[in-house]
Structures are given as structure tokens and as C-alpha cells.
Amino acid sequence: MADNKVDNITENNIKTDHTLALRASITSIIKDIAGSVGKEEFVECLSLLSGKSKVLDKLYDALVGDIENSLNADFDEMLANGNLDSELGKLKDAIANSTKNPNEIAWRPPGNVEEHLRSPDIEKIFEETDRLKNILDKIENENSNLKKLLDEKRKLTNEIDKKILQAHKIGKLSIPKMEKIAHRLETYNCQNDK
């Protein structure tokens, strides 16, 4: 009986040692996978933040850490289920049944938003865009009409201003003439009264 306990303890230690070795190698592989996202490529994807290197470093570290934590959690779940062989077999079958060739380049949209955007709200977005374009066109038409009206009013104001200046000049020239006429009339009236 004592030999049985010793055998069980030794067998458990061997399994634990194998598990630790497996965990160490899988963790190393997971770190390699998480680090396979090149920092330069990551920075290129976030070109909007190109001037903020500290923010980019934090985001990159968060991305790598998140990938690492997620993969480690999946591996821990496999170990917790107890039957690592069947879990790895499922993973192998999933990889074998994958319709994508690992060497095949992933599809990327060519940039035609209307053709490739898969949003249920796309029709609503296009309707609102058209509505806003109509509103903008109306406002632009109204502005152009107001500009025309303003130009007409300016021309009219300039014409009135010219007429006032002309009348003022004529008035300045007319005052001495009027004074002479008034003086003549007074003189004429005075002569007639005598």
C-alpha cells in the first residue's frame, strides 16, 4: 500500500513536471505569437497618432499584452478541462478543416465603400447625407441670392451717393448765384418802391 502511494506521488510529480515544461514552451510560443505584430506595422496602421510615440507605445504594449493574456487564458482552460490530448486534437481538426490556406493573403477591401461596407445603417447614412446635401444646396442658393441683392443695393447706394455729391456741388455753386439774384431783386424792389 505504501508503495502505491509513492508511485502515485511520483506519477503526479512527473505529470506536473511535464505540465510545467509544456506550459513553459506554450507560454514562449504565445509570447512569440503576440510579439509577431511588428511595432513598425502597428505604428503605420495608426498614422493619426504618429506624433505621439508614448501613446503608441502604450497601445502596442496593451495589444500585445491582451493577445498574450487571451491565448494564455485559452491554454489554461484547455489544461483545466483535464484532457489535453482531446483539446489539442480539436484544435488540430479545426486547423485541418479550415477553408483558408495559411499562406493565402487575407482579403482587403479595395476602397469602394458603397460596395464593400457591410453596415445595416448604410442606407440611412446615405439618406441623411443626401438630405444634408440638399440643405447645403438651399443655403448656398440663398447665400448667392443674398449676395446678388446686396450687390444691387450697393450699386443703388453708390448712385444715390453720387447724386447727393453732385447736388451738393451744384448747391455750393448755386448759393453765390442765388445771393446775387436775391440782391438784384432787393435792389429792383427798392428802386420800384421809390
Q: What is the pLDDT of residues 73-95, one digit of tens each?
A: 887 887 777 767 777 777 777 76
36 in the same domain as 71 = yes
Cell digits for 29? 510560443
Residue at 170 is within a domain: yes
Eight-state DSSP code of residue 106: P
Neighbours of 39 (CB within 10 A): 14
Residue at 132 is within a domain: yes
> What tens digit of pLDDT does each residue of 110-160 get?
555 555 555 556 677 788 889 999 999 999 999 999 999 999 999 999 999
Q: Which domain covers residue 60, as residue numbers? A: 17-98
Distance CA 64, CA 97 (A): 28
Residue at 107 is within a domain: no
> What tens digit of pLDDT does each residue of 1-27 get?
444 444 444 444 445 666 777 778 888
Longest CA pairwise span in the chain (Å): 169
State the Cα torsion 159-161-162-168 to the nearest 10°.
Answer: 150
Residue at 81 is within a domain: yes
Residue at 159 is within a domain: yes
- Domain count along the chain: 2
